[in-house]
Every structure is written in C-alpha cells, then in structure tokens.
Amino acid sequence: MQRKTLIALSTALFTAGFTGAATAQTPTPAPAQPPMFATTKVDGTDNVYVFRYQNHQSMFVVTPAGVIVTDPISYGRPQAAKAYLDEVRKITKAPIKYLIYSHHHYDHIAGGKVFKEAGATVISHRRAKERLAQLKSPDVVLPDQVMDGKRTIKLGGTTLELVYTGRNHSDSSIVMLLPKEKILFAVDFNALGAVPSRLAVNDSYPVEWEASLKRTLALGWERQIPGHPGPGGRLGTRKDMEDQLAFMTDLSAEVKKASDAGKCFDPATKEVRVPKYGTLAGYEQNIEWNIHRWCGYWGRGI
C-alpha cells in the first residue's frame, strides 16, 4: 500500500513538473522522497509494462520469444537505461529483440546502448534516423532499421503495429499499437488533460498535428500509455486525445483570425485566449507558447 502511495505521489509531482502546473509551497516536514523509477504492469494485460524514470516513461512488452522495449529515456542520466534493463530482467531472461524509438528527441531516446549490447535491433521512423545521423550525438544509438507508413512486428504471440500518423510534435513520431490489447504508446503529441508545454510545441507542425491526431484516433485503441505520466499516473483515454484535438483546432482558428488582423506575434500572444479550455493543466503557463508557435505558422508560413 505504502509503495503504491509513493508511486502515486511521485507521479503527481512529476506530472506537475511536465505540465507546468503551479506547485504548492513545500510543507514542513519535507515529504518522503518519491522513487526515482517504477515498473507497472498494465491492468488487464499479461505482458505489457510501463517503465517510468522520473518524468519520462516507456512501454515494454514481454513475450516467450523475446522482449520489445521502447524509448530508453536516458538523456542526461545514463543510469536510467541500465535501471530499465534491470527492471526487464527481473521479469524475464528472454532476449531483448527490439528497441523502438517513438521519435528522435533525445530526452526519450538517448541511452539505447545497453539494449543494443543486449542484442536489440533498433527501429525508428525513416526521418528519425535521418535526423539522428546528422546530429551525431554520442549518447544516441542510430537505428538499424527504419519504417515509413506502417510496419507490423510479430513476436512470441504478440502483434505490435508501428504506425506513422503524420507530422505532429515532431516530423519523426510514430505510434505503437497493440491491436489485441487495444493499447497505444504515443509520445509527446497529446498531453493528458493539459495544454502542450513549450518543449512540446518547439519542434512542431501546426495543422498537420491536428490531422495526425485524427489519424491516431482512427486506430483501434482504448487506452494510451503516454511518454510522460498522466495525472495521478493514469493512462490516456480517447477523450484526452479528442480534447487535445478540440483545443488545438479552436486555438488554431483564433490565432488565424489574429494573424489575419496583423496581430502576430504581438499582441496576439497576450490577446488570444480560448477560455473554454482554461481548466486544462498548464493553461496559463503554456498558452502563450502555443500561440507563438501557431502565429509562426499562420503569420509567417513557418
């Protein structure tokens, strides 16, 4: 019970950090330290797990024929991938068959060396490999294989579909769908119950992002494992993604109007608001970053 409480507490704290939600004054005495990482089996599944390290998380799938791991989440903390592999090894000694990258951003995919050395074939979207090959980070393992539209992996009785749903938070994002379990692993392009953060919109593709959300919603899933813990550590729902799409669509329309009126970037960033979404976490903190990005698109074609 106590461990569960700690996990819930740590998740809430890390979630607050990601969404930029206001944090309370530190009470005295100081609360217990949350665990740095945790592994959780997804309810209702036999073999689908979430590995969380601080505020990042990944999905992994254990089969009798081997393990499929995703995102090593070791940017600036090489110990995270080692902890991730150790956690997998507590569950199974089966070979690590695949390491799959959700997209090319380092905070999710740095540190894959331990999995590569354990025998994994590294897979990403074609564009992720192109970008990583240019960037040449010493901490990032280049993919061995790439995919474009769709690729299906079958391993030990489990089917995992890798699907590119278009440019969104990056130009290299793929989603990973377990069709039997109706579980989707999708990273950084929908914030559960929150307005996307500054980092979420920095490298993004307005309007195409909305189309990508629609294509993702058209896939047959019911629960989403996000790349950052949801509120209270919960998984994502279709409603979360529908809400994100609605927010983005309405914000985009408002910014377009402001842009056509010559208000981008300023005073649009101060004037444009979508109060209907004011209850989303991080609304006040992040709305201007979102307007700025959409102003770039509508006002300057960038």
Interface residues with Zn ion (CB under 5 A) are: 105, 188
Q: Which is nearer to Zn ion, 103 or 292 (CB)?
A: 103
Shortest distance, CB of residue 105 to Zn ion, whole angstroms? 3
* Residue number with CB closer to Zn ion (97 or 228): 228
Query: For residues 54 and 259, which CB has a smaller minimum distance to Zn ion in the complex?
Result: 54
Task: Select 106 or 265, whichever has its Cβ closest to Zn ion.
Answer: 106
Evaluate whether 219 touches 177 at the Cβ level (below 8 Å).
yes
Q: What's the closest the beta carbon of residue 268 comes to Zn ion, in angstroms?
A: 25
CB of 24 to Zn ion, least distance (A): 28
Question: Which single residue brings its beta carbon nearest to Zn ion?
Answer: 105
Least spacing, CB of residue 103 vs Zn ion, in Å: 6
What is the smallest separation between the CB atom of 108 and Zn ion, expressed in angstroms? 6
Residue nearer to Zn ion on the CB measure, 191 or 287: 191
